[in-house]
Structure formats: C-alpha cells, structure tokens
Amino acid sequence: MLKCDIRKFFDSIDHRILFTLISNKVSDQKLLDFIYQIIDSFHHAPSKGLPLGNVTSQLFANIYMNELDQFIKHKLKVKYYIRYCDDFVILNADRAVLEKSIEAIRKFLSKELLLYLHPRKVEIRKLRQGTDFLGYVSLPHYRVLRTKTKKRMFRKIRDAKKRLDARLISDSQFKQILASYMGMLSHCRGREIERRLSACYSQAMSTLILDGRAVRDAAIPALTARIKGLLHKPVLAIIQVGDRPDSTAFIKAKSSFAEKVGAKTKHVHLPESALQAEVIKAVQECNADPKIHGIIVQLPLPLEIDQEAVIDAIDPHKDADALTSSSVKRWLEGREDALLPATTRGVKELLEYYKIELFNKHVVVVGRSMLVGKPLAAFVLNENATVTVCHSKTLDLTDETKKADVLIVAAGRPELIGAGHVREGTVVIDVGINTAKSEKLEDELPGKKLVGDVDFEVVKSLASAITPVPGGVGPMTVLGLFENLADLCS
C-alpha cells in the first residue's frame, strides 16, 4: 500500500499563488469568487502561508487534485486508488510497482500542479485488516479514525479551549476550530467518543456570559499601579442635585471603587431646589480648584435645569465623562487621543477582553441618548462597523434588531428586548439598569432588584454572548470613569 499526504502544500503556499493556481483549474467564475472570499477572509502576514485548517484545505484539495485522479487512473492504469481530499492511497501487492508509481506521481505533481511531494509524507506499508490507512476514510461501509488520530484531534480541541480560556482566541474562532474536527469525529462509534463529542459541542455552543465584574477586577491592579505612579492622587468631583436614591447609590459605588484604586472623590451635594445658576457655580468652583482633576455631574438633573448647559460649564481638561461639546467633537471624529464617555469606554474594553470584533459587523444600537446611545453608535462606527440606531419612533424595532450581529440596548425600558427581537448567534450588550420590585439584591443599587433592557433569561438561549444585569456593563462603566480620570491626570 502507498500512502501520501500533500496538505503541507495548502498550509504553506502564499495565498496569491494559491488563488492563481486554482484559477487555472476552475472555469466557473462564481466558484472562483467564492474561493477568493474564503482565502481573503483569513488574517495572514504577507508571503506567509494560510492557516487553512482541515475544512478549507480539503475544499482546495478536492478542486485542485482532480487532474491527479485522472493521471493515476488513466495514465498509470491504477486499479485500486482512493483519494480523500489531500490524502491518497494506492493498493498493490507488488512493492516495485508502488515505488515506480511514486516517481511518476512526483514528476506529475511537480510539472503539472507545481506541488512538491515531501519524502516524509510518502509511505509504503502492509495493509492489515481493520486498520485505517488514511487516518480518516469516507467510503460506503468504511468510516473510521485511528485511535492515534482521535487522540490527536481531542488534544487539539483541548489546546484550543485553553487558548479560549486565556482569551488568546475568540469564542467564534474556538467554534471554527471545533467544527473542523467534529465533522470527522462525528463518524466514530462508541459511547466514550459520543460523550466527549457532546461535552465539546455543549461547551462551544453554550452562551458566553460577558462578566463585567471579572473584567473590572482583572483591570484593577494595572489601574492601581498607574494611579500610584502619578504625581498627585487624582480627585474626582461628583456634583449631585437632589436626593434620588439611585443617584446616591451610584455615587457610593464610585467612591468605594476610588478607594480600591487609590483615587479620591469629592461629593458636592446640592438640594433639589437648587437653581441652574447655583449648579453652574458649583461646577465653576470645581474647575478653579487645582486639587480637583476630574468632574462629573450625576445625571439625571431636575427637569427645570438645562442639563446641556451645566455639562458644558465643565472645563474640558477636567471632563471625566467626555460629554462637553469639546469632548463630543473629539470622539465623534474618532481621534485617537479622545476620551470616550465612561459607559462607552467600559463597553469597548469588555468587547476587547472577550475578543469580540466589530470590524465589518452589523451593529444595532437601541437608544439615542447623548449619555449612552449616541456615543456608543459613534464608537462602533469608528471601529468600521455598519451601524443602525433605533429609537422610540422606529417603525419595526423587531425587524431592525434581528439584522444585528451585535445588539447594544440602551433604551431605559425594562426588558424591552425579548426572544422575538434577536436572531440566533447575536452578541447582546445590555446597557440598561432598571429597578424592579422584588427580593433585595445588593449590587450596583442596594436594596433593589435590577433588570436590564433585555429579558436576560429568554434571550440568553439565543445569544452567542450576552451581558448580565447587574454585573455586566455597570462595573465596566465605573472602571471606565476612573481610567478617564487617570488619563486627565496624565
């Protein structure tokens, strides 16, 4: 038996050469366009081979190797010949005939297909009954994997899972790696194989919970070290008007986090009856205080106060939430040195941690507030996503949200988004924090149960990744605020 494997060619050839070679063998333009899209979809360095993996290299082999089939069958007159993708086997009892075939095949591959048959990929051996001679063979009554091959595949899956856990690859990349092996492994029989396959599949297909608390906690040491290295301990002034319980709770959470990372907060508390001029005066006093490095106004303000005028009174050099006109212009333009609003920065870092890419994705943002919706829409647009912004006047919200690869919801309406709004595999970012009457839940808002703008339990089964409420975007917003403060101090 002669066994050969030529996959190394497909794994190492420059992508432009590969496409040129295939173009010479395929006349169907639609098929060529499809193949080029596949080749071009891989991230690769110039003049380096493609990380094609099993599935793609098999596709190219089947297209490209048809001439080899004709040569072996008709020119060499081989009676017993099997090829599966880039592996092929010739059966013959005469070793001399097989050795002669090797030279003929080597010359044909070199001259006609520009392929090099590596000596270590050519093997003549006896065929023992019950032994798999291709590693994987697909025949009407013969589908089997060698034990050694199965072990290797499971090892590669385990290695990929470790890389996923270390955030070296994304969830979608792990699923692609898993899919490339599962097609072959699924043909194997045996309870142990079925159990391990089921475990791998459920592990890959389960929804990824985007844990904002875990990401925030992982970032605290670096932020603490950075603040410690500043010339002055950064101080954040928080201006509050009135006594809204939720605002007071959020301010306490910010003050607590400030202590963790080595910063300080100064709480400027004005009564509900404060006039707009008094609020602006408080802002101006913080602007003039050299001991204060960052300022935010706790929103919402009472209805009779012009929120925009108060925020614009903040010195742009102390604008920790990046909401003044000067700051807005900078992040709308996508400038590299622009501070992002705290929530937007938090969402950005959450996506980066879990390696969720926005490039070329369709992102739907539900909500258009100046505090959250518009900054998020601008951020994803600057990341080269295609953006749709929905709001209360959108005619068919369900139709729009179902188009999303990534759905960001910041509408301020409890559980607005249900199963009917989301298609399977969507990444869902729930920015909403709403209170609901239920059991006490000590987190971002002590004494209240928090729910998001998304019905978490219903949507979770459809989403590929989703943020919980509480514990998703909320902790990341506080982190983003103090990272902004550190930037202002620098």
> Catalytic annotation on 298?
yes
Tens digit of pLDDT at every position of the chain (490 positions): 455 555 544 444 555 655 665 666 666 677 667 666 655 655 444 444 444 444 455 555 666 667 777 888 888 888 777 766 556 677 777 888 888 888 888 788 777 766 666 666 666 666 544 334 444 333 333 334 455 566 777 777 778 777 777 767 777 777 777 766 665 555 555 555 556 656 665 555 567 889 999 999 999 999 999 999 998 899 999 999 999 888 888 899 999 999 999 999 999 999 999 999 999 999 999 999 999 999 999 988 999 999 999 999 999 999 999 999 999 999 998 888 899 999 999 999 999 998 898 998 999 999 999 889 999 999 999 999 999 999 888 999 999 999 999 999 999 888 889 989 999 889 999 998 887 654 433 444 455 677 889 998 889 888 889 999 989 999 999 999 999 999 998 8
DSSP 314-349: S-GGGBTT--SHHHHHHHHTT-TTPPPPHHHHHHHH
Q: In the beta sheet, which residues pair with residue 441?
A: none
- Token duo for residue 93: 């009892």
Q: What is the pTM of this model?
A: 0.62
Q: How far apart are CA 336 and CA 350, in angstroms?
A: 19
Cα dihedral 363, 368, 371, 377, rounded to 10, equals 30
**Coil, strand or helix at 398:** helix
Which residues does 99 contact at the CB level (< 8 Å), separation at least 6? 124
**Are the C-beta atoms of 287 and 275 separated by less than 8 Å?**
no
Q: How far apart are CA 422 and CA 162, in angstroms?
A: 30
Report how far apart, in Å, the C-alpha atoms of 451 and of each of 415, 427, 467 are: 7, 18, 12
Report how far apart, in Å, the C-alpha atoms of 333 and of each of 55, 329, 381, 404 are: 41, 6, 10, 24
- What pLDDT was estimated at residue 74? 83
- What pLDDT was estimated at residue 254? 93
> Catalytic annotation on 321?
yes
> Catalytic annotation on 86?
no
Catalytic member of 5, 171, 211, 321: 321
Catalytic member of 58, 240, 298, 307: 298
Catalytic member of 3, 175, 254, 374: 254
Sign (positive or negative) of CA dihedral 226, 227, 228, 230:
positive
- The DSSP call for residue 206 is S
- What pLDDT was estimated at residue 193? 57
